[in-house]
Each structure stands twice: as C-alpha cells, then as structure tokens.
Amino acid sequence: VSNGRMDFAAGGGHPHSRAYECFGADHKSTHDVMAESLEVIRKAWSEPTLTHSGKFFQIPEVIVNPKPIQNPLPPFYMATSSLDGVEVVARLGINMFLPIHTRTPEQVVEYANAYWAGLKQHGHDPKTRELGLLIPMHLAGTSGEAKARAEAGVMSYFKTILDLRIDYTDWLTRRGVELPTRLRTAAGAQVAFETVCEKHSVIGDANLAVGKIKKLTEQTSAAHVLAWFNIGTVPHSLVMESMERFTKDVMPKL
C-alpha cells in the first residue's frame, strides 16, 4: 500500500505496565535513553555503516539492512504526555504526538504551545516540524447513537488503565519506590464517560467530529490527526462502520 514508505514514532512506554522493571530500566533516565536511541536509529538508517559510542549504547562498526525507502530519513515522531517529554522532543527537533485522552484540553494546548516555543528556543524551525494529536474516535448517525455504541468498549479501556495504575502504585509504594511523575498525577484518577466524550475524545456524529477536530487543530496548530477507532473493546464491525463514516463524512470537510 505504501510502497515501503513509513512514519517512525517512538515513546517512553507505559510505566504502569511494569515494563521498566521487566527490562531493568530506570524511569528517571527514560528521556536520556530515548534521545540516544533516536540518534542511533537515525545513524543506522542514514549512514552506510553504523558506529556509535554513547552513554547507554556501544555499537561497533555494523551494516544495517534494509534501510527505509525515504531519503534521507522517514518522518520521525515522539509521543509524550508530560512537559518534561515535550522539552526533550523540542530539544531534539523532531515531530511530536500528543494523546488527548490522557490530559485535559487545557494541558493539551499548554503542551502544544511549549513544543512550538521550545523548537524556537533550541534553534529549530517550527515551520519544518509537525505536531500530531492522538484522538479516540467513534462516529455514528447521531451523537446519541455514537455514545451508546461506544460507551462500554471505551470505558473498558479506561477501567483497565485505572486498575493497572492503582495496582502499580500500590506495588511501588510497598517497595518504598518513588512514583514516576506521570503516575503521580494520574494514578487514582477516575473518569466518567461524559467527561471522556467532552474532553478526551471525538464521539458523536459527523458534524460534531468536524467541529471538534477543527477546534483542536486550531488551538494547537496540529497538522496531523491520528484517529484511534479501535479503542478498548468496541466491536470490530462498529469500528469499521465508524471509519467508513469518517472517511466519507468528515475527512472531506477538514
């Protein structure tokens, strides 16, 4: 379909999944490891041979194949949901994704503004960078129908995340380990479905979707929308129907 073209995106992972402990990683050094990892990947994909000597990785001379079809590199994105992460992305001068379902609308705008300002501060041209938004979506003929079809599936996702966060928080507390910043601010947060619909997603009819997406992109200067249709346990048939409605009734108006 893409003839080998791709967009490359990376993120720090979910602390509450215990991925850090599983791999013996320190969440406090996540951003430094991420920065060096991206440097290694860029070199591996753009140079005939890769040699790297850094704080976290020591790589002798190796040849990396296959390489991406895009020249010199495919677009790079980093996903983040913290201001510290935004600072890292801006310093590296790469494109950024913000998930709207993990932060308030005010925080999403704050983080977007910090990204654009940070790019300038670090000598990067914002006009050559791109901000994307990850947006949970479900569309139907009416907003009421969309909410009724999506509620159980969408809320199963938020319940799973909440249960994991609570369990992980209790586990770290019993061990006397300091909570990661992201977890400290969200570990016990319970969210109602109406709040999800209002502040953390696009769930409704086509007109609502067009208006909400336009508002979000205007507020943040985002040029890329990653529409998340298969969130939680929404049935596949409804996911496909929602996607078809989006391509027919929403995309032409954006």
Tens digit of pLDDT for each residue in 18-74?
777 777 777 778 889 989 999 999 999 999 999 999 999 999 999 999 999 998 899
Bridge partners for 227 per DSSP: 135
The pLDDT score that the predictor gives to residue 188 is 45
Helices 143-175 and 236-245 pack at an angle, to 10 degrees, of 120
d(CA 162, CA 141): 31
pLDDT of residue 181: 64
Q: Which of 2-6, 111-115, 177-181, 189-193 has the weakest average pLDDT? A: 177-181
Average pLDDT value for the chain: 91
Mean pLDDT of 215-238: 97
CATH code of the domain containing 163:
3.20.20.30
User: Is residue 99 in a domain?
Assistant: yes
| Res. 76 pLDDT band, cuts 50 70 90 | very high
Three-state secondary-structure class, residue 226: strand
74 touches 6 (CB < 8 A)? yes
- The predicted structure's pLDDT at residue 29: 83
Query: Average pLDDT, stretch 102-112?
Result: 95
Using pLDDT thresholds of 50, 70 and 90, give the confidence band for residue 187. very low
**155 occurs within a structural domain:** yes
Q: Which residues have C-beta within 8 Å of that of residue 213, sequence separation ≥ 6?
A: 135, 202, 225, 250, 254
Looking at the 3D structure of the chain, how many domains does it have? 1
Q: Is residue 110 in a domain?
A: yes
For residue 133, being part of any structural domain is answered with: yes
List b or e across 118-146, with b for residues whose CB sees 16 or more CB atoms inside 10 angstroms.
bbeeeebebeebbbbbbbbbbbbeebeeb
DSSP H helices, the chain, are: 19-22, 30-46, 83-92, 105-121, 143-175, 181-186, 193-199, 206-220, 236-245
Using the Cα atoms of residue 46, residue 47, residue 50 and residue 52 in order, give the sign of their dihedral: negative
Q: Residue range 193-202: average pLDDT?
A: 96
pLDDT for the residue 189? 58
Residue that wins the pLDDT comparison between 177 and 6: 6
Best mean pLDDT range from 2-16, 79-93, 164-178, 201-215: 201-215
The verdict on residue 1 lying in a domain is: no
Amino acid at 144: G
pLDDT of residue 182 exceeding 70, the answer is: no
Domain limits for position 239: 8-253
Give me the pLDDT at residue 183, please: 63
Q: Who contacts 241 (Cβ-Cβ below 8 Å, separation ≥6)?
A: 140
Which residue in this structure is represented by tokens 């990661």? 180
State mean pLDDT over 227-244.
97
pLDDT at residue 15 in the model: 63
Residue 144 has pLDDT above 90, yes or no: yes
pLDDT band of 12, cuts 50, 70, 90 = confident
- Interstrand relation of 50-53 and 58-62 (parallel, antiparallel or unpaired): antiparallel
Contact (CB, 8 A) for 250 and 231: no
Residue 3 lies inside a defined structural domain of this protein? no
Residue 2 lies in a domain: no
> What number is the average pLDDT over the span 164-172?
83
- Let me know if residue 229 belongs to a domain: yes
Region 100-114: mean pLDDT is: 95
Using the predicted structure, report yes or no on whether residue 75 has a pLDDT greater than 60.
Answer: yes
